[in-house]
Each structure stands twice: as C-alpha cells, then as structure tokens.
Structure 1
Amino acid sequence: MSATPLSILDLSPVPAGGTVAGALRNTVDLARQAEQFGYHRYWLAEHHLAAGVASSAPAVLIGQVAAATSAIRVGSGAVQVGHRTALGVVEEFGTLDALYPGRIDLGLGRSGQRRTELAAEAPGTGPAGAESSPAGDPAPPTEERVVGGLLIPPPFWYAHLVGSPRFALASALLHQPGAQPPPFAGQVADILALLRGDYRDADGLDAHAVPGEGAGVQVWLLGSSGGESARLAGALGLPFAANYHVSPATVLEAVATYRAAFRPSAALNRPYVSVSADVVVADTDARARRLASPYPAWVRSIRGGGGAIPFPSPERAAADTWTDADRDLVDDRVRTQFVGAPDTVTERLRVLRDVTGADELLVTTITH
C-alpha cells in the first residue's frame, strides 16, 4: 500500500501563560516545519469566543501561512458559513487563490448554522457535532464498539450546551440582529456557482465575484455525522473530511453516508475522504502521556460550556480536582486521543485509516 498523505489541522492554541500573538507566531512556524517534513496540507480551524484558541479568522491566517511557505496546500477546516455570505467567502478565498494560486483549500462547515438552529430549539438530545437528519436516517449505535481495533465510543450528548447562556451569546454575536442563515445546501450551491462564474438569482440576474470567479480553490465539506454535510459532499462529488477527533462515535456513519451518496463530478471521479485524529507524539510513550495530560481539562472547559481555556501545563493539570461527572464529560475524547512514541501512534493511525478507508489523515496536536 502506498503511503497515506498526512495533513495538519491547527487551532492556534494559546498555552497557559502565553499570548495570542505568540500562538499565531507558533502557527506560522509550525506551518514552515510541516512543509519541510512533507505534510500534504495545512488547515486552520475557526473558533470564536475561546480564550485558549486564536484561530477565529481562518482566511487571515491562511494568508499568513501561505506567505511563509511555498508549496504546501493551505486551507480552512472549516469556514462556518452560517454567519457568512456566499459572496464574502468566495471573495476572500478568491483573493487568497490570486495571491497563492493552486494552493488554497476552501473547507466549508455547517456548525455555524447548526448553532443558530439549536439555539432556537428546546435542548436537543443528539450527539455532539451531529447534524439534523431526515426521518428514517439510521442513528449511530449508542453502545461502545471496537471495529477492527478502532474504538468507537458511545455518542456524547450535548443538550446541556444547547441550553447554556454562552451558547446563545455566541449565536447572537456571530449574526446580525434578526438574521437567519439560509439552508446549507443553498449556500454551498451559491459558493460553487460564484466560483464557476454561472451564478443567477431567482430573477435570472447574474453576479460575478471579483476576486473569486474562476479561482482554483479546492472545495471540501466537513462533517461530524452521517447528516447533511456528508450527503451533500457525496451528491456534489466533493471531497469530504470526517471528524474522528471531534465526534468519534459517528465517524463510521459519516464516511459511509458520504460514500453511499457519492456521484462523480468535475472535481472527483471517486470518493475522497480525509479523517481527523487528535495526536500527541514524543520520543517515549511516557513523555507523550505527560505532554497529553492537560488535554482532559481542556476538553472539560469546552464541553462544560465555558469555551476552551488556555492549554494548561502538565504541572497545573496534575493539581486539578475531578468528579465522576467531569470524567464522563471527556471520556470519549480522552480515550480516542492517539498518544505515544512514534511507532505507537503510527500503528493507531494505520488502524484509523484501514477501518474508515481514509485516503488522507488529518492530525491535530495541542500541548502546553
């Protein structure tokens, strides 16, 4: 079997005691090194209102990373289109493509729209990261499984997050007053039409994005479940990125739904799947475990509803007090993190690749 391309997803994490400026400089430095090491692409996430994450403006960061490198693909993982317009997205990424042609990926995510929908509903009972699905879609199994050596934990239920004041505040700050995001499929269709140059509105009027029209950006959809993003990516013949590191319980349903829905397109003649994993590697298993030891506290801060805290040091994390409820809150993420020496982690990545059939692996690492 040929080597599997490895790529990086970076959140520009802010370590405890560090600064946002330092985190952003670390991102540019890591991207330079990733290119030298032979990584395939470098993606920047989009997060908001989190003291421990500096990647709130991925297009700006993509420009900085592309300027500091020469060949590695650079992109978004993902732009949250729920609080953006199709034209705004196309103009931003068209500008990037004009400056760095043939290197820019436009990853699109539905999380911004899903946040708005959920904030308007009563607290739901679906798994975290899952998207709304039509009646009749199979629900992911609720019992823990091991499939081909890959741990598939029970789903994480996010009802407490949907009802939290901070959840509503994020929705309010990300949208203009009274604004409602259009359907995700419609936004994706508008983005693709503006990129192709054949956009028409309901009255037949055309519009042309400058920059943007004719840009050679590679469009991806990202998803955490077998919901709308997976189905739409398949139906449009686009590459799809599935999130094992965010929602390990639903990764198999996500990739299966995408492949079942796939139709060949001008972009792809066969399905292409990237699967993410949370990874910490060091020279020994013991050192890697120490570097990863603050990760549970960081996940707890997110799932507790307060947003990602600056990533603690191992010493600070060791002093934390934990309840059984705290441990349950982070259990699926902690047990599906790949931690160890190179051989240990490489073997776990091989299992992830083989079980999901991934064409590419997207690794993300956060340490102090």
Structure 2
Amino acid sequence: MTVPLSILDLAPLVAGGTAGDALRRTLDLARHAEQFGYHRYWVAEHHLTPGVASSQPALLLGQIAAVTDHIRLGSGAVQTGFLTPLGVVEQWGLLDALYPGRFDLGLGRSAQRRKSALAAAAPEATSSQAGGAGAKPVGWAAPDETETEARVVDGLLIPKSFSFAPILRSARSALFFKLLHQPDASPLDLDSAIADIETLLAGPYTDGEGNEARAVPGEGADLQIWVLGSSGGESARVAGARGLPFAANYHVSPARVLEAVEAYRSAFRPSATLAEPKVMVSADVVVAEDDETARHLATPYGLWVRSVRTGEGAVPYPSIEQAEAYEWTDEERLLVADRVETQFVGSPDTVAERLETLRRVTGADELLVTTMTPGHADRVRSFELLAKQWYGR
C-alpha cells in the first residue's frame, strides 16, 4: 500500500521578491496541494532569515485553513524554546476552535540545541565564527563534528555528517537568540515543555496546592502532537518515550536519518496516542517532465544551501542565472555536497523511485516533501507531477 505523501513549505522568498509575494504563493500552493491529494501541509518556523517568510506557523496556518477545506495542517516545527507551553497551547487551541480537528502540532528544540552547543564549545570559540559573505564556511570541519564517512545503505545515500554547532555558537546566533528570548529566560528542556503542553491541553493545570489554571482556547483542543528531530538525540528519545509520532529530517540532516529513526523506535513506549511507532521522513525534491529539465530547475539549490551553511541565514532563493554565474571554490562544494547529493531531482518516475527507496530503508509510515524552484509555477507543477506518479492518478 502506498504511504501518504505530505508537504513541508518554508514560504521561501525568491530573488527580487517580497515576503508578501512568498506568503501569497504559499496560500496558492496549499490550495493546489489539497487538490493534488497530499495528506498534510506543514509550514516551517524560521526567524530572522532573509529568504524565508514562515516565521510564525500558527498565524500562517490560520490563513491557510481559511482557503482550504480538509487537508491537515501543521508545523514543522514550533520551536519550544521561543514560547511558553501556555503560549503554544493558546495559539493552537485558537486554531482548533476555528477549524476543528485539522491541526498537527509539530514540536522542535532549536533553542535547546544552541544551549547544548554553547555548553560543549571550546574556550577559544569567538565571534569570528559568525560567517557572512566571503567568510570561510563556519560549519565545515567543525571540531565536534561526528566523523562519519559517506555510505550507501540498500540504495539510500547516507552522506558524511555535518555539524551546525559552530553556527549555533557564533556571534550572529547570539544576536538572534537575544531577540528571540525574554531577558534571562531559560528554555525548558523538550520533555518538560511537552509535558506542560499535554497537561494544558488535557486541563486543568494544577500546582499541587489546590490552584489550577485553564487555557482557553486550548484545553480540549483536538491536536495531533508530533516531535521533529535531526539525530538520535533528545528529540528522538523523548518522542519515543512519550509514545508520540516522530518526523526525521533527511532533507536537513541526511547523514543522521537512520540514527534518528532507530533511536526513536528503540525508545518507543506505547501511549494513549500510539500503540506502536509512527515515523515520517522528509526529503527535498524537484520534479519536472524529464530529468534534464528537473536538473536545470534545481540549479540554484546548492547556492541557497551555501547561504545556510555559512551562517548567513537562508537568502532569497537565487535565480538560475545567478546560480550559473556563481564561481564555486572546492571547499564550498564540499560544504553543500551532502544536501545536493541527497536532493531527489528528476522525472516523476525518477523521484518516486528514490522516495520509495527512502521509505523502504527508513521504514517510514509517511513521507514529507519540500521543493524549491525560482518560479512558482514550476514548484506547483513539481508537486502535481509527483502526486500523480505516487498515487497512480
């Protein structure tokens, strides 16, 4: 039986475009996704990023819900370190009150990742790691990087690993986190944040001394909680121990996807939510009528990944002309190689075959695909071609 196919959208800006343009394209794509038969439509949470407009998932999903009828909507993922559990429950409770039973609350731990990176930082880490145009890529050959070699597992490429730790320790990152946090605030660990969210949803929240608090809207909301993770670390273990569904990021951290799903399944304990593990795995794809056209449309992808990997933050998605004119260094090509080599690019047959390999090797119960192209029509067409091929329509 074919597993469901879902979409992850970053509401990307393109070169020369505006945030408004990007958000209107997201609304249009969501309408098309529902028509094409996709199971879920998730939006990412990215802050202070020049090329991504999906900074507030709950706000954006309310707009998407208003222009769609039945497709499930969700976050990939709400960063639990940037909001209190009450703030999360109130936002998503409001969405469920208006559009009942349609929302997936995907949770991540971005803020806690920076805290861990700082704790493990070498004393000599300095602001020179901030990155920027013309700077040496700060993520390359990081001293705390897991030195795994590329390998192929039953047809699936598992590339050499990459570490974001130097970026998380950079002066640029420190500025971003200053803006994202209240002064002296300390983010809860992921397990504690989820525990508080689940308690508030079940309601009431009590302090053991006879006092109680209720989230309205929020208490009783019909939300499906997911945990997203990029490794076999805290996110995978917490998701498994709490019996929650887990989404693993092959498109962000392809080197660690098998580690992530294995850690989740090893930690899994049945819950009222799930009797057995449930895994969704993401992939970056570009589909066109033939392989050559798809490769042409995917030309800017490496340059866009470079902007992320050097600590600049994702830039507006480059045009094909900009990408073809860029002069790469050997070091830069190595910096983005794992992402470029694991992007699934080609005809519907080609991409569907690679997605099936990803599903088989990871044992995924669902796949989550994301697509970047300079032109909106090409992006919509990519999702349409893939859905037709995947579901045999």
- Specify the alignment match of 1:253 in structure 2: 259
* Partner residue in 2 for 1:96: 95
Structure 1, residues 129-176: CA drift from partner, whole Å, max 9, x if none?
xxxxxxxxxx97711110010000111123431332211111111101
**Distance in 1 separating the partners of 2:74 and 2:197:** 16
CA distance in 2, matches of 1:238, 1:165: 35
1:215 aligns with 2:199: no
Distance 1:123 1:5, change over 3 A: farther
Q: Is the 8 A contact 2:12 2:52 kept in 1?
A: yes
Report the alpha carbon displacement of residue 207 of structure 1 after superposing the two structures with TM: 1.6
Q: Check if 1:286 corresponds to 2:285.
A: no
Amino acid at match of 1:242: A
Residues 52, 309 of structure 1: 8 Å contact kept: yes
1:25 equivalent in structure 2: 24
Stretches of structure 1 lacking an aligned partner (at least 5 in a row): 129-138
Q: Structure 1: how far apart are the matches of 2:287 and 2:277?
A: 30
Partner of 2:64: 65
Deviations 1:61-102 (A, max 9, x none): 110111110000001100001111000000000000111111
Aligned amino acid, residue 62 of structure 2? G
TM-score by length of 1: 0.93
Alignment match, 2:159: 153
Displacement of 1:256 in angstroms is 0.6
Classify the secondary structure of the residue corresponding to 1:47: coil
Matched, 1:352 2:358: yes
The yes-or-no answer on 1:167 pairing with 2:190 is no
Letter in 2 for 1:230: A
Is the 2:146–2:163 Cα contact (8 Å) retained in structure 1?
no
Cα distance in 2, alignment partners of residues 240 and 148 from structure 1:
22
Report the 3-state secondary structure (helix = DSSP H, G, I; strand = E; otherwise coil) of the residue aligned with 2:96.
helix
Counterparts of 1:32 and 1:89, CA distance in 2: 26
CA-CA distance at 1:46 after TM superposition: 0.3
What is the Cα deviation at residue 119 of structure 1?
A: 4.2
* Cα separation, partners in 2 of 1:159 and 1:209, compared to 1, 3 Å: closer
TM-score (norm 2): 0.87
In the alignment, residue 345 of structure 2 is paired with which amino acid?
V
Query: 2:200–2:214: 8 Å Cα contact kept in structure 1?
Result: yes
1:1-368 equivalences in 2 (<5 Å): 2-119=1-118, 121-122=120-121, 142-201=148-207, 203=209, 205-368=211-374
Aligned residues: 355
Q: Do the aligned partners of 1:299 and 1:308 also contact (CA within 8 Å) in 2?
A: yes
Letter in 1 for 2:158: I
How much does 1:121 deviate? 5.0
Whole-Å Cα distance in 1 between the matches of residues 364 and 147 of structure 2? 21
The 2-side partners of 1:180 and 1:317 are apart by 41
Letter in 1 for 2:267: A
Equivalent position amino acid for 1:360 in 2: E
CA distance in 2, matches of 1:150, 1:198: 46
What percentage of residue pairs aligned between the two structures are identical?
Answer: 65
**Aligned partner of 2:84: which letter?**
T
RMSD between superposed Cα atoms in Å: 1.7
* Structure 2 segments unaligned to the other structure (5+ residues): 126-138, 140-144, 375-393
**8 Å contact 1:277–1:363 — kept in the other structure?**
yes
Contact 1:123/1:159 (<8 A) preserved: no
User: CA separation of 1:28/1:315 partners in 2, compared to 1, >3 Å: closer, same or farther?
Assistant: same
For 2:266 and 2:249, how far apart are their aligned partners in 1? 18
> Separation in 2 of the partners of 1:207 and 1:67?
30
Match of 1:217, as an amino acid? L
Paired with 1:19 and 1:330, the residues of 2 have a C-alpha distance of 26
Give 2:381's aligned residue. Answer: none
TM-superposed deviation, 1:307? 0.6
Q: CA deviation at 1:355?
A: 0.1
Answer yes or no: is the 8 Å Cα contact 2:106–2:226 preserved in 1. Answer: yes
- Counterpart residue number, 2:128: none
Contact 2:190 2:238 in 1 (8 A): no
Post-superposition CA distance 1:274-310 (Å, at most 9, x none)? 0000000011111111111100110000110111111
Distance 1:8 1:281 in 2: 14
Judging changes above 3 Å, is the alpha-carbon distance between structure 1 residues 218 and 176 closer, same or farther for their aligned structure 2 residues?
Answer: same
Q: Distance in 2 between matches of 1:39 and 1:354?
A: 20
> Are 2:146 and 2:162, in contact at CA under 8 Å, matched by a contact in 1?
no
